[in-house]
């Protein structure tokens, strides 16, 4: 039946609307997270510089400078110093670990201390969010005074996981919004004498397509089959103009006959039955068709 196809089409339209709503919301969360990432990455460089400052103090140097932190690759940074220094591996590990604990994106990272002259790795260790996966060795051996560069490489998943966490956390909220939205625009299902009935809320009127009746101000008004099919078309597209030719085609074509004056007669009958509810009315759109107008209260 044409009405059944219209119902399916209406549901698909609203489902597409939900998909668009979800997409827009997800994009909004993603852009918001991108802004947070920019802030946290800028803050990370300040934390890295403070690591260099603490290492100079630990080596007894209170006058020389920590040179600007350099980003040498994606998620990889280099800390360099104005003068040579020495360091204790134990203090190095504890300092970097303590400072980077304040970086919300620093979950997993590898640290290598590189000798400037030989480009060899003088000391290195790895820290993981799962402490059992930490790799820290040779902590008790003091390193001699030399020119050192500290390379810190962060695991990329640290950033994407944080963003995904926020996105996944937002899914229940989006699902709830979508559910409420979908429930508000689709026909309500209720039980009546053990049978499932589709009920449309049109203004203050309850329209039951299966029972073929209207309930207005607690009064039940019966509808004919043709009136029911006609009102169903309007109920699926409230406040939309329905072309006259479409109404004639969907109501009478299956019966093999289309009578122009029949439509006007049934529209008139429906208007009369809807009169007790002043919030809804069927109006003529000249040259086009009819529209079921619902005034939202």
Give the number of other CB atoms < 10 A from CB of residue 170.
18
* CATH (domain of 222): 1.10.10.10
Determine, yes or no, domain membership for 166: no
Determine, yes or no, domain membership for 207: yes
151 and 62 belong to one structural domain: yes
286 and 219 belong to one structural domain: yes
Whether residue 111 is predicted with pLDDT greater than 70 in this model: the reply is: yes
Whether residue 185 is predicted with pLDDT greater than 50 in this model: the reply is: no
146 and 66 belong to one structural domain: yes
State residue 242's pLDDT score. Answer: 92
Determine, yes or no, domain membership for 17: no
In DSSP notation, 110-148 reads EEEEEETTT--EEEEEEE-SSGGG-B---TT-PEEEE-E
Determine, yes or no, domain membership for 250: yes
Determine, yes or no, domain membership for 74: yes
Neighbour order of strands in the sheet with 70-73: 70-73, 76-80, 148-154, 109-115, 121-127
Say how far apart CA 88 and CA 164 lie, in whole Å: 38
Say how far apart CA 248 and CA 230 lie, in whole Å: 9
208 and 270 belong to one structural domain: yes
281 and 194 belong to one structural domain: yes
Alpha helices in 59-148 (DSSP H): 89-100
142 and 34 belong to one structural domain: yes
Say how far apart CA 34 and CA 241 lie, in whole Å: 43
Cross-strand partners of 191 = 196
**Model confidence pLDDT, tens digit, residues 234-248:** 999 999 999 988 888
155 and 212 belong to one structural domain: no
43 and 142 belong to one structural domain: yes
Residue among 255, 275, 251 nearest 264 (CA): 251
Whether residue 10 is predicted with pLDDT greater than 60 in this model: the reply is: no
SS3 call for 205? strand
39 and 154 belong to one structural domain: yes
Determine, yes or no, domain membership for 10: no
State residue 39's pLDDT score. Answer: 81
State residue 12's pLDDT score. Answer: 59
Range of the domain at 216: 187-294
- If one counts the domains in the chain, the total is 2
151 and 206 belong to one structural domain: no
**Model confidence pLDDT, tens digit, residues 252-274:** 765 555 555 678 888 999 999 99
Average pLDDT over residues 74-97: 92
If you average pLDDT over every residue of the chain, what do you get?
A: 79
Determine, yes or no, domain membership for 151: yes
Among 3-12, 38-47, 170-179, the minimum mean pLDDT is found in 3-12
Q: Please indicate whether residue 125 or residue 181 has the higher confidence score (pLDDT).
A: 125
């Amino acid at each position: 039946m044409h009405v059944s196809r219209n119902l399916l089409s209406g549901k698909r339209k609203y489902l597409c609307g939900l998909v668009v709503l979800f997409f827009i919301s997800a994009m909004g969360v993603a852009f918001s997270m991108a802004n947070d990432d920019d802030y946290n990455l800028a803050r990370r460089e300040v934390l890295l510089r403070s690591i260099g400052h603490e290492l100079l103090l630990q080596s007894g140097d209170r006058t020389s400078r920590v040179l600007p932190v350099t980003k040498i690759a994606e998620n990889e940074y280099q800390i360099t110093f104005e003068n040579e220094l020495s360091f204790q591996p134990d203090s190095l590990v504890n300092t970097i670990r303590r400072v980077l604990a304040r970086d919300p994106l620093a979950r997993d990272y590898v640290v290598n201390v590189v000798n400037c002259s030989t480009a060899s790795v003088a000391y290195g260790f790895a820290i993981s969010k799962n402490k059992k996966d930490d790799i820290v060795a040779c902590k008790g051996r003091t390193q001699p005074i030399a020119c050192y560069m500290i390379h810190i490489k962060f695991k990329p998943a640290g950033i994407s996981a944080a963003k995904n966490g926020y996105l996944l956390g937002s899914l229940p909220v989006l699902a709830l919004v979508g559910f409420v939205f979908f429930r508000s625009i689709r026909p309500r299902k209720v039980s009546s004498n053990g049978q499932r009935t589709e009920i449309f809320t049109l203004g203050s009127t309850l329209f039951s397509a299966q029972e073929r009746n209207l309930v207005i101000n607690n009064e039940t008004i019966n509808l004919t089959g043709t009136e029911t099919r006609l009102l169903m078309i309007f109920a699926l597209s409230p406040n939309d103009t329905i072309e006259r030719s479409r109404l004639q085609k969907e109501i009478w074509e299956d019966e093999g006959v289309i009578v122009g004056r029949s439509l006007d007669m049934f529209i008139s009958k429906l208007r009369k039955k809807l009169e007790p509810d002043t919030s809804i009315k069927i109006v003529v759109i000249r040259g086009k068709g009819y529209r079921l107008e619902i005034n939202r209260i």
